[in-house]
Amino acid sequence: MSDPLLFLHRVQEAREIYDTGSVQSPASVRDQILRACWIVDRARQAGRIGPDKPLLVVGAGAAGVSAALRASGAGVPTHLVEIESEAFSRQLSCSTRWIDPSVYEWPLTNHTSDHWGQMPQMPLPYSLGLSNELIRDWQSRIASAANLYKHFGCAVSAPPQPYGGRLRAEVRNNRTGNNLSLVIDAALWAGGPGEENTVCGQYRGFRFWETDPYAHPHLLLSGVSSRVLISGGGDGALQDLLRIAFDPARVRTPRDLLPLLSSIPSSTFLELQSAEDHAQRALIWNGGPNERKHDHPVFARLHDVHSRLARAFAPTVERELSGLLRDPLPEITFAHACTHFSRCYPINRFVGLLLLDILLRQGRVRYQRNSGVVDVVPTAPGVHLCGMDPNGCHGIDHDVISTTRGCATGAASRRLLGTYNVIILRHGLESKPRAVSLKIRRQLLPYELL
């Protein structure tokens, strides 16, 4: 009988080619590291890779580097190919985004740990920290690794081909155009599933892993009030809602809100855990051309449970939570398509709804459901041109056009949503062509490898 983990991640049954990059969820940094290490461990145990059976890893993000370090540390000759000139190129340049190893497991009991807990053997151990600071430590681990052959600024455009009972991969140097043939016994594709969609018309917002001004007092705007639009219903939008609303000196990540959430009744915790479990068991089997249609009732029910429980809990913490907000609080509009948030971590969903409930009752936020942003144009086009530069657009008035939109319904007529000088677009990922891809892209993972 085949190893089930390797079977589900194998792209072609006749070849030892595996994929983690097309997995949609769970997809936090911690999940990527755990998944990659698990596959390498099982491949070694099954005799697919070893000291005389090299491994090729394509993609030098958290998953790819973890797999490469895990394998090379066990004596497996490992080739790491990355199209950029260095590993972790996106996260390395970001000095305003925090990475947290376990808070997104909330409301489960292991959410309170600020480190890897029982996994000291992980090749990329980490605790709560800023992205660029964490990445510098991770890069030093790559530099000192034995049995690891780095091919940065290179690409593997096609899956490895059979070669005398093994595999042969062609690695192209993007700068010189030279090709290198590698004979290997297994390959792991660990590139991301797509590019983040932060573009609307000629406007481009800051990407998730891009240094932005949202952690600064007054959002780096001087002499003008901040009118902020956050468009999207996933983790990125909800995290940025918290970053915009809360005083950045007091709330950096949801972890800083755990003392406030500790007064949640145990019955509420149990109901949240049950609702999340019901949702995950349904979502794991959704996908394909009817993915949105199948996801809608699951997300709608989950949203209703979180919303009801957040509304009941809000009076208990309203005063304390209000004391953590920015002063003055920017004018905030939060908009997303359909009636519910999309797939996101429970703490982001609950705290986002808790914050929105409190701010709505205080008359300090505009919350637009069923609202899909379709265009962003300068209010004074003769004075300002967007040019796909978020720094150049920050603080400049733009008119935002939206439509009424749901999961299973098309867009209705266009309307002016409002005029804003800070616009955050978190519209998910746009799929990119992939050399390999899995048929099943949703999973449930263990919390740790023992």
DSSP sequence for 88-151 = THHHHT-SS-EE-SSGGGTTSGGGG-SS-SS-TT-SS---SEEHHHHHHHHHHHHHT-TTEEEE
277 and 410 housed in the same domain: yes
Residue 444 is assigned to a structural domain of this protein: no
For the cut 90, the answer to whether the pLDDT of residue 28 exceeds it is no
Q: Which helix (H) or strand (E) holds 386?
A: none
pLDDT for res 30: 85
435-445: average pLDDT: 74
CB of 206 closer than 8 Å to CB of 37:
no
Record the tokens describing residue 445, joined without a space: 């993972």
269 and 334 housed in the same domain: yes
Helix (H, G, I), strand (E, B) or coil at 415: strand
| Residue listed under structure tokens 């595996």 | 18
378 and 238 housed in the same domain: yes
Residue 434 is assigned to a structural domain of this protein: no
Phi, psi angles (nearest 5°) of residue 45? -65, -30
Task: Please write the tens of the pLDDT for every residue from 239-280.
Answer: 999 999 999 999 999 999 999 999 999 999 999 999 999 999
**Largest Cα span, the chain:** 70
pLDDT for res 115: 63
pLDDT for res 337: 93
pLDDT for res 444: 76
Task: Please write the tens of the pLDDT for every residue from 400-418.
Answer: 999 998 887 766 789 999 9
For the cut 60, the answer to whether the pLDDT of residue 371 exceeds it is yes
Residue 187 is assigned to a structural domain of this protein: yes
297-313: average pLDDT: 97
Q: How far apart are CA 61 and CA 234, in angstroms?
A: 21
Residue 435 is assigned to a structural domain of this protein: no
343-363: average pLDDT: 97
Residue 441 is assigned to a structural domain of this protein: no
422-430: average pLDDT: 93
Record the tokens describing residue 256, joined without a space: 């800083």
Alpha helices for 380-431 (secondary structure H): 390-393
Task: Name the burial class of residue 136, with classes exposed (0-12), middle (13-18) and buried (19+) by CB atoms within 10 angstroms of its CB.
Answer: exposed
For the cut 60, the answer to whether the pLDDT of residue 119 exceeds it is no
Q: Where are the beta strands (DSSP E) in 298-386?
A: 331-335, 365-368, 371-378
pLDDT for res 109: 81
Confidence bin at 172 (pLDDT 50/70/90)? very high
pLDDT for res 381: 87
**Average pLDDT value for the chain:** 91
178 and 252 housed in the same domain: no
Residue 54 is assigned to a structural domain of this protein: yes
211 and 84 housed in the same domain: no
Q: How far apart are CA 83 and CA 61, in angstroms?
A: 11
88 and 172 housed in the same domain: yes
213 and 359 housed in the same domain: yes
241 and 282 housed in the same domain: yes
Q: Write the CA distances from 119 to 6, 123, 356, 446, integer angstroms.
A: 21, 10, 36, 12
**What's the domain range around 19?**
4-193
Candidates 385, 426, 395; CA nearest to 203 is: 385
Residue 354 is assigned to a structural domain of this protein: yes
pLDDT for res 300: 96
Record the tokens describing residue 362, joined without a space: 């205080």
Number of domains making up the chain:
2
DSSP 33-53: HHHHHHHHHHHHHTTSSBTTB
Which of left, alpha, beta for 331 (phi over 0: left; psi -120 to 50: alpha)? beta
Q: How far apart are CA 210 and CA 213, in angstroms?
A: 10
Q: How far apart are CA 447 and CA 37, in angstroms?
A: 13
Q: Write the CA distances from 71 to 68, 78, 154, 182, integer angstroms.
A: 5, 7, 20, 17
96 and 152 housed in the same domain: yes
Question: Final residue of a domain: which of 152, 171, 193?
Answer: 193
CA 197 and chain centroid, separation? 12
187 and 201 housed in the same domain: no
Q: Write the CA distances from 360 to 73, 301, 314, 336, integer angstroms.
A: 53, 21, 11, 16
Q: Would you mind telling me the total number of residues written for the chain in this entry?
A: 450
Question: Final residue of a domain: which of 193, 224, 257?
Answer: 193
47 and 70 housed in the same domain: yes
Percentage of residues of the chain with pLDDT beyond 90: 72
Residue type, 345: Y
Residue 99 is assigned to a structural domain of this protein: yes
276 and 343 housed in the same domain: yes
**CA angle (428 as vertex; 423, 433 as ends), nearest 5:** 130
User: What letter would DSSP give residue 286?
Assistant: -
User: What letter would DSSP give residue 442?
Assistant: B
Q: What is the CA radius of gyration of the chain?
A: 23
Query: What is the domain-level CATH number for residue 117?
Result: 3.50.50.60
Question: Final residue of a domain: which of 193, 214, 231?
Answer: 193
pLDDT for res 114: 63
Highest mean pLDDT among 92-106, 216-230, 311-325, 429-443: 311-325
